[in-house]
Amino acid sequence: MKTAFVTGASSGIGRATAVGLAKAGFALVITGRRRERLDALAAELAPAPVHVLTFDVRDRAAVNAAVASLPEVLRAPDVLVNNAGGAHGLSPIQSGDPADWDQMLDANVRGLLNVTQALLPGMTARQTGFIVNVGSIAGQEAYANGNVYCASKAAVQMLTKTMRLDLLPTGVRVAEVNPGAVETEFSQVRFKGDEARAAKVYEGFEPLKAEDIAEVVVFMVTRPPHVTIAEVLVLAGAQGAATTIARK
């Protein structure tokens, strides 16, 4: 049975991807900070084999300890989905909160590195595997007030490309999915629980659902070894660019 390790699986794209991979026949390691949600997901996916790990991707020691606690086969997954991360704040650079900046750079960039490095010994030893990094259209396009979030996702894009080169001799393939406007907890987190402001982001058009992105990820990681779908940009149907949306 193939195995997949998904970070940030307690909600949104991570959760939907875990569900999609379980349906595709993968045994799973689902990780996140919210144990109860992960346990509920594991129960929902039963009888699919699911191993729950609770840690914050920003905490390198916790990541390493969690991975070390896994049975050997799960320490070398066929698929790693680096999904954990998010946006915090949407302010001009001159009034941005440095705590938000740290949070985004630590989770979106350092967190991805922490998890990847913890799993690479197993994956490279097997000489096979597939890593999907969840980037964003925000890593490809600048938009006002996106500053550090855009920069963190631009870093994900460059890490994807450079990791692909570094890992080429090892047989581990690396790719990226870049979502546009997906309605998840993303905007509630970005706006710190301001639900009215979060709802406005998705007003007047049909946004993507987490499942739309999950389907793409499952397709990418189930291609045969001679195929790497290296980058996919997924926009809402009414979306032409990051902040260009035809609203009714």
Least separation in angstroms between CB 180 and ligand 8X3: 6
Query: What's the order of all strands across the beta sheet hosting 129-134?
Result: 50-54, 27-32, 3-6, 79-82, 129-134, 172-179, 231-234
Smaller CB distance to ligand 8X3: residue 77 or 179?
179
- The answer, yes or no, to whether the previous bond of 71 is cis (omega within 30 of 0) is no
Smaller CB distance to ligand 8X3: residue 137 or 154?
137
Q: Compute the distance between CA of residue 164 and CA of residue 174 in angstroms, rounded to an integer.
A: 5
Q: Compute the distance between CA of residue 228 and CA of residue 175 in angstroms, rounded to an integer.
A: 7
Which of 5, 26, 130, 149 is labelled catalytic?
Answer: 149
- Is 149 a catalytic site residue? yes
Least separation in angstroms between CB 10 and ligand 8X3: 18
Q: Compute the distance between CA of residue 117 and CA of residue 64 in angstroms, rounded to an integer.
A: 9
Q: Compute the distance between CA of residue 190 and CA of residue 6 in angstroms, rounded to an integer.
A: 22
For 11, list phi and psi in degrees, rounded to 5.
-160, 170
Smaller CB distance to ligand 8X3: residue 77 or 86?
86
Pairing type for strands 244-245 and 239-241 reads antiparallel
Smaller CB distance to ligand 8X3: residue 28 or 198?
198
Least separation in angstroms between CB 96 and ligand 8X3: 15
Smaller CB distance to ligand 8X3: residue 140 or 170?
140
Task: Identify the three-state secondary structure at position 156.
Answer: helix
Q: Which residues bind ligand 8X3 (CB under 6 A)?
A: 136-138, 179-181, 242
Residue matched to tokens 């998840």: 184
Q: What is the DSSP letter of 184?
A: S
Least separation in angstroms between CB 77 and ligand 8X3: 25
Task: Identify the three-state secondary structure at position 80.
Answer: strand
For residues 89 and 97, is the Cβ–Cβ distance under 8 A? yes
Active-site residue set: 149
